[in-house]
């Protein structure tokens, strides 16, 4: 069974869908014939993403709505509207995430709360909202995006909160998988390594530099490199393409080339 035949006509929600991994995931799903609801906090980013995607894919397969994944009211409305738009909902990709670099000593409280709310609380709230909408649908799925930072010690330093909440996402996903089996909802955790995205956009340059320098001092001046957002998107389509009753449990995708950390 090809990815295209498995996903054609299916409808999925992608959180954090206006850029980075989320945009690439939406692009790949649309290329497989799926319908995609893109959710993100910024309306302009969603408008730009939809316009660009419409140049390659049928515009009727694309739906966007502004949504803060830490706000349950936003989530319920966006999910209901997406299902109404497409007449079905077959899956949720919990991709929305962000990080703020900083040593533990220098982290601000608002930065800690923002990372916890976006990366973990958002995954929980979106999963809660999705379950009743997915129940009874054709081959329903929930995919949660973790990070190699949650597992590997040699990832970039000064991202302690981001790594911690992504580890919480993985543990949450284990229980979610068990609970969703009764409704035949497949649950998958995807653990990507570093890829070039807008992920570090807006980071404080001095704190980013400090994190990279600490990383190089502890683990050397080179790191794994060479992965593109499209590789992560392909792994999502792969996981979604399994038949009902079979689910990828945990899939890690990491770069396998070497590059200098000075590129950061």
List domains and CATH numbers for the chain. Answer: 3-263 (3.40.50.720)
Q: What six digits make up the tokens of 57?
A: 């894919």
Based on the residue annotation, tell me whether 162 is a catalytic residue of this protein.
yes
Q: Residues 12, 153, 162, 238: which is the catalytic one? A: 162
Q: How confident is the model at residue 2 (pLDDT cuts 50, 70, 90)?
A: very low
pLDDT above 60: residue 51: yes
pLDDT above 70: residue 223: no
HEC states along the chain?
CCHHHHHCCCEEEEECCCCHHHHHHHHHHHHCCCEEEEEECCHHHHHHHHHHHHCCCCHHHEEEEECCCCCHHHHHHHHHHHHHHHCCCCEEEECCCCCCCCCHHHCCHHHHHHHHHHHHHHHHHHHHHHHHHHCCCCCCEEEEECCHHHCCCCCCCCCHHHHHHHHHHHHHHHHHHHHHHHHCCEEEEEEECCCCCCCCCCCCHHHHHHHHHHHHHHHCCEEEECCCHHHHHHHHHHHHCCCCCCCCCEEEECCCEEEEHHHC
What pLDDT, in 10s, does the model give residues 110-145?
A: 999 999 999 999 999 999 999 999 999 999 999 999
For the chain, give the percent of residues with pLDDT over 70. Answer: 86
């Amino acid at each position: 069974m090809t990815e295209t035949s498995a996903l054609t006509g299916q409808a999925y929600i992608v959180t954090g869908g206006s850029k980075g991994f989320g945009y690439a995931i939406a692009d790949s799903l649309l290329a497989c014939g799926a319908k995609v609801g893109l959710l993100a906090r910024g309306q302009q980013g969603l408008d730009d993403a939809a316009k660009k995607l419409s140049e390659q894919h049928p515009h009727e397969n694309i739906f966007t709505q502004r949504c803060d994944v830490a706000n349950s009211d936003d989530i319920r409305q966006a999910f209901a509207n997406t299902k109404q738009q497409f007449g079905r909902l077959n899956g949720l990709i919990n991709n929305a995430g962000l990080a703020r670099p900083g040593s533990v000593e220098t982290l601000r409280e608002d930065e800690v709360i923002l990372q916890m709310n976006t990366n973990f609380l958002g995954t929980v709230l979106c999963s809660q909202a999705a379950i009743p909408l997915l129940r009874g649908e054709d081959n329903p799925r929930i995919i949660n995006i973790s990070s190699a930072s949650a597992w590997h010690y040699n990832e970039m330093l000064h991202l302690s909160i981001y790594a911690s909440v992504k580890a919480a996402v993985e543990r949450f996903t284990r229980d979610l998988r068990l609970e969703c089996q009764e409704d035949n909802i497949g649950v998958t955790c995807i653990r990507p390594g570093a890829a070039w995205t807008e992920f570090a956009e807006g980071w404080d340059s001095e704190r980013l530099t400090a994190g990279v320098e600490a990383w190089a001092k502890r683990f050397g001046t080179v790191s794994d490199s060479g992965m593109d957002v499209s590789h992560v998107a392909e792994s999502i389509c792969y996981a979604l393409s399994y038949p009902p009753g079979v689910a990828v449990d945990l899939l890690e995708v990491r770069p396998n080339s070497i590059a200098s950390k000075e590129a950061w």
